Chains A and B, each alone.
Chain A
Amino acid sequence: MALTRLSSPSASPPRSVPAAPTRPGRRWITPWLFLAVPLIMLVTFTYVPVANMISYSFTDWDGVSPDKDFVGLGNYAQLFTRPELFQVFSVSLFYLVASFAQIALALYFATVLSFRLRLRNLFKGVLFFPYLLNGVAVAFVFLYVFQPGGTLDGLLRLFGVDAKIFWLGDPDLVNVSLAGVSIWRFLGLNFVLFLGAIQSVPAEIHEAAELDGASRTQVFRHIIVPSIRPIISLSVILGVSGALSVFEIPYVMTGGSGESRTFVIQTIKLAFQFNKMGLASASAVVLLVAILLITWVQRRLIPEERPETR
């Protein structure tokens, strides 16, 4: 079972690094020659932007003009006091709840499909496939699902429900619909990660439990859950940071207007539509700090349970 490979590579024994070569004079430079391009790229496209972003966030720069004035923490104060800017955080809550639902569903299907079942590989493939799909295509597929007279309305009519529901037009419903699309799209990754972890438990343990007359609930609680705890914690982190950085689906489906505006959509609009580079940078810094904080908390809470250190 090749999925278990994810836990094996770092398990190799410690080894020596090659002995000094014949020409010691040029030796020190060799690793740097190999590292030059990767490091330049890393600094240019990750660290320079982060540094710039932090410095922009204290200014009122519009992104175009040569002059920018220092405004201290003004941008940050605006972000947390203007309700229309702050509202995006409540949109994240919808996606946050969705990602927990997604983890629960993924866990259920992974457990079920870890037992021997007819058509197991087919179900596995079907559940995973949406994760591979192009986000714009997914958004269009679901625009069709949600549109008046579309797939969902047609389905409801089959069951005799002829309600006119504006899945994307109703401000109370739009984020629920969009979060549902997000579950549809991302469930597959969680599911395959869980399944891989569950299947890495040796079959003998399952057999022993079976001989002892363990019920499926007991197998789940005492064998399956412990084996996937690290993956669950990883999924929670991915889910939380994912909920904060939602962009594609709402942007394509509703244009990110009104109630469905997310944090990233707002940041992009501030920067490129309203030319408020300073405010947009402050907003991006807040997002970055939030995600770093969550990751840090997770590493703190579950320090060495990362799968590859097992």
Chain B
Amino acid sequence: MTTRTIPTGPAGRLAPLWRTAASARRISRILTYISLVAAAGVVVGPLLTVFLTSLKTPRELARGGVFSLPGDWLNLSNYLTAFENGNMLVAFGNTAFILVFSVTGTIVIGTMAAYAIDRFHFRMKRLVIALFLMATLVPGVTTQVATFKVIDAFGLFDTRWGPILLYMGTDIVSIYIFLQFIRNIPVSLDEAARLDGASSLKIYRSVILPLLKPAIATVVIIKGITVYNEFYIPFLYMPSEELGVISTSLFRFKGPFGAHWEIISAGAVLVILPTLVIFLALQRFIYNGFTAGAVK
């Protein structure tokens, strides 16, 4: 981060008159660090114990306390069990399938809507904008009872296409992100292309879409993480075990692995690990993306 903040140099550089103030600052600084370390401990502690548990054998788990270290740091047998008996391979496959189609669909739908709304004058434009605006106020969880009947009527219940359509069709935040970016693309570029004889579709494809790349990256990140984490929709629309995504397959660990915390922990770590890797690799984009998404 490049933001500059208050220059708070070492206490020694301050004038003697300020010495008491400086030592007060030092104490407050120490308290600040204590609070930060405590908060970090609260965040990391639960995750770390689950990670430790995932490497233990059932015997170790029964004997040692929660914070004891595993005997063999490379004991991956729990992970193998989670993968094989817990259906996690199928789950990652289904999640990837749904992810690819719903993210692509969201981008196509969002950019098309943003292009039409920002670049054209047409009758009832205000009504269209109002329809999209009002929909942001309707929280998805409230309407699922009735949405379920719509998906069922299309015969899409218990297929992967039900959730894909819902992810694509109800993401208005993405349309907003595209709208904000498209406004900053100069209209003169469209006009120049049009003078060269390009059709609207051509302009959308070869002028607008390439210039929307940063917005597309933002949407891919937010949408990708949201879909990866979604539990409610796949739980409701895809009850079949072979259609499990990572959330629902992990949820099913509760039954068969009941008290086997080492296997449940391995399953949880398997789900968390990709998120950690993505976060470490794309930190800055993720902060920006979620900020843009929340503030719309």
Contact = CB atoms under 8 A, between A and B. Distances in A.
A150 B65 CA distance: 8
A43 B127 CA distance: 13
Most chain-A Cβ atoms within 10 A of its Cβ — which of B4, B122, B142, B295?
Answer: B142
B295 A193 contact: yes
Interface string B160-183: 000001101110100100001101
Contacts of B204: 34
B83 interface: no
B206 interface: no
A134 B278 CA distance: 13
B120 A154 contact: no
Contacts of A21: 194, 200
A53 B198 CA distance: 45
Interface residues of A, number: 113
A12 B184 contact: yes
Nearest to B48: A151
A137 B272 contact: yes
A241 B138 CA distance: 11
A150 B142 CA distance: 35
B126 interface: no
Interface in A114-145: 114-117, 120-121, 123, 125-137, 140-142, 144-145
B109 A196 contact: no
A132 B279 contact: yes
Interface stretch (A44-52, A69-77, A83-91, A159-167): A44-52
Interface in B1-33: 1-8, 25, 28, 32-33
A31 B131 CA distance: 16
Contacts of A307: 295
B2 A1 contact: yes
A135 B5 contact: no
A49 B5 contact: no
Contacts of A12: 183-184
A46 B49 contact: no
A203 B4 CA distance: 6
A93 B170 CA distance: 29
Contact of A280 (B115, B145, B250): B145
B122 A117 contact: no
A46 B145 contact: no
Contacts of A203: 3-5
Contacts of B253: 140
A18 B2 contact: no
Nearest to B267: A140
Interface in B81-109: 108-109
Contacts of B165: 41, 45
Contact of A30 (B3, B120, B172): B120
Contacts of A1: 1-3
B275 A134 contact: yes
17 contacts: A12-B183, A17-B119, A21-B200, A28-B123, A35-B113, A37-B108, A116-B7, A117-B32, A126-B40, A136-B248, A136-B250, A140-B264, A144-B265, A245-B141, A284-B143, A287-B142, A288-B143
Given A3-B291, A137-B272, 4 more contacts: A151-B49, A238-B294, A268-B236, A291-B142
Interface of A: 1-3, 5-6, 9-10, 12, 15-19, 21, 28, 30-32, 34-35, 37-39, 41-50, 52-53, 56, 63, 108-109, 112-117, 120-121, 123, 125-137, 140-142, 144-145, 147, 149-151, 153-155, 157-158, 184, 189, 192-193, 196, 199, 203, 206-207, 209-210, 216, 219, 231, 234, 238, 241, 245, 247-248, 252, 264, 267-268, 271-272, 277, 280-281, 284-285, 287-288, 291-292, 295, 307-308
